[in-house]
A and B are shown apart, each in its own frame.
Chain A
């Protein structure tokens, strides 16, 4: 059982067994015998492999042509439909895939079937001698000696100071890369401007909603008045301010003390941004009065002020206090009384400052 040389075709060495004084060493098993491929011996097979590689490269050419034809020949003018765009997309993808795969597989097949396949072993370098280490130490010593950094502490200290201070401008610049968010997350467009209450308007048209428009069982997707007229930051504002407006039987609502006036005749408005990670909660079931978040199935009960009854959300959806103005349109009497959406670091602080 002491002979471990099995499997090595060229050498038949023995491996030292325990108890012997020699240092244990692996015998080099060597390279297995070279096996010729079909293409090496048979010119016909070589010719066939050559054709296969050419076909693969040809596939790539066809793929590129498909891409170019799809890109330039498919007209995406006014007459085109979604189907046209989808067809173009599909052809662009198929063309690119064949163009890239054809080259890649062709090269691999070429290398495997036709290119010389002799094995090469590379000698490993010997581990560095102690002399080399000494030489490196001498170079460092020379630097210390010739720069005289030990003898001239003034130069050394000023250099240290300069290097330590040099990154400070970068710190200042990075600090000013963007404005701090401050309390932007705590406020939305619903806050009254100059005493004028914001009307609730339909998403996406921006037309105001009358209380009489909202029949029982209705669900309106709502954006604040003036959102569509914003020139910049429109999406950021929309992401905070979207609201779902619903009407149910006033008897089934159970407003808590202080919130009795936040709805109007059974019409209530709640933030559409989930308090878990901010997906739009807009799946409203008008018979069960449940609001479902499609991302992680958090479920909110509208009759309990959107209390979480299932899922990972930890807080009820914030309610928007609404009333009716003298023209019969729904308006928000104030901003949300808490920051909308998921938790963030300063949220508690912001909630306290909103509620004075």
Chain B
């Protein structure tokens, strides 16, 4: 440090400092701008996957989403939704949709893993979009305390603080998150299926998403040692229970107190 401070009056010091500053801002800018780049990762998909996917799409999806997934009156365009959206919607059975309604329901998946993969390959080839998350982000070994904080800030208002789900407007609802795979939770965050807002990597970092999944899996594994959690729905179910069972116990006690022993 001493050598550095002695040379700070050197005629070239200003130029060196300027150069360092430029490199730093340039480097930071390069990092910052790549964060939000839609990843058109077609690396995982082979050409045959894409081709088979195209056939599956034409047979099963094009009625609503249009040939080439350009969208019709009955379904949105899928250009740029990415492989993650397909993997979520088809993998959880929400697509193909059973019928029109406020919300597409989760149901047994109609396509097997390979077909889902091929459909994802086809849609990912149409335009850049969020890709299927890497296994490293789904290992459930993140910081669950941090994940809990992020969950309570960003997710709990719709999905309930215990991830038990909740009602939205006009027949829509936020589903419960127990038994949802980490991969599907991650994909839902990056793609924002149906009425769920998008939580892109620039909003919640991939590490943050890993923490959230860790938290969700942990509260799911922890269970409820105190007995039935009554759906974790808070004052509605707990209040109903206390009003009926609690008042019943109080009445039973008063009857016992005033009765004569035999």
Residues of A38-90 whose CB lies within 8 A of B: 38-39, 49, 81-83, 86-87, 89-90
B261–A220 CB distance below 8 A: no
Report the bound CA distance from A21 to B32 in whole Å.
106
- A292 CB contact (under 8 Å) in B169, B257, B261: B169
B226–A310 CB distance below 8 A: no
Residues of B16-33 whose CB lies within 8 A of A: 32-33
Interface presence of A200 (CB below 8 A): no
- B169 CB contact (under 8 Å) in A81, A216, A288: A288
Given contacts A82-B219, A89-B226, A299-B169, contact A286 B154 (CB under 8 A): no
Residues of A302-349 whose CB lies within 8 A of B: 310
Main secondary structure of the interface of B (DSSP, over half): loop
- A285 CB contact (under 8 Å) in B168, B198, B225, B261: B168
Chain A, 212-236, contact with B by CB distance < 8 Å: what is the 0/1 string?
A: 1111111111000000000000000
B223–A83 CB distance below 8 A: yes
Report the bound CA distance from A244 to B154 in whole Å.
10
Looking at B150, B203, B218, the one whose CB has the most chain A CB atoms below 10 A away is B203
Residues of A162-215 whose CB lies within 8 A of B: 202-204, 210, 212-215
Report the bound CA distance from A220 to B154 in whole Å.
8
Interface presence of A93 (CB below 8 A): yes
B153–A286 CB distance below 8 A: no
Residues of A247-278 whose CB lies within 8 A of B: none
Main secondary structure of the interface of A (DSSP, over half): mixed
A294–B197 CB distance below 8 A: no
Neighbouring B residues of A87 by C-beta, 8 Å: 225-226
Chain B, 83-108, contact with A by CB distance < 8 Å: what is the 0/1 string?
A: 00000000000000000000000000
Neighbouring B residues of A83 by C-beta, 8 Å: 221-223, 225
Neighbouring A residues of B224 by C-beta, 8 Å: 86
Which size bracket describes the interface of B in this complex? Answer: 35 or more
Interface presence of A149 (CB below 8 A): no
Interface presence of A11 (CB below 8 A): no
CB distance from B99 to the nearest CB of A (A): 17
CB distance from A140 to the nearest CB of B (A): 46
Interface presence of A4 (CB below 8 A): no
Interface size on A, residues (CB 8 A): 45
A218–B169 CB distance below 8 A: no
Q: Report 25 cross-chain contacts, Cβ distance below 8 Å, ordered by A residue.
A: A38-B261, A38-B262, A39-B261, A82-B222, A83-B222, A89-B226, A90-B226, A108-B257, A202-B203, A203-B153, A210-B202, A212-B36, A213-B35, A213-B203, A214-B203, A215-B36, A217-B197, A219-B154, A219-B197, A285-B172, A288-B169, A288-B172, A288-B195, A292-B169, A294-B166
Shortest Cβ-Cβ A-B pairs, 8 listed: A90-B226, A219-B197, A213-B202, A83-B222, A285-B195, A87-B225, A282-B157, A217-B198
Could you list which residues of chain B lie within 8 angstroms of chain A, going by C-beta atoms?
32-33, 35-36, 149-150, 153-154, 157-158, 166, 168-170, 172, 174, 192, 194-200, 202-203, 218-219, 221-227, 256-257, 260-262
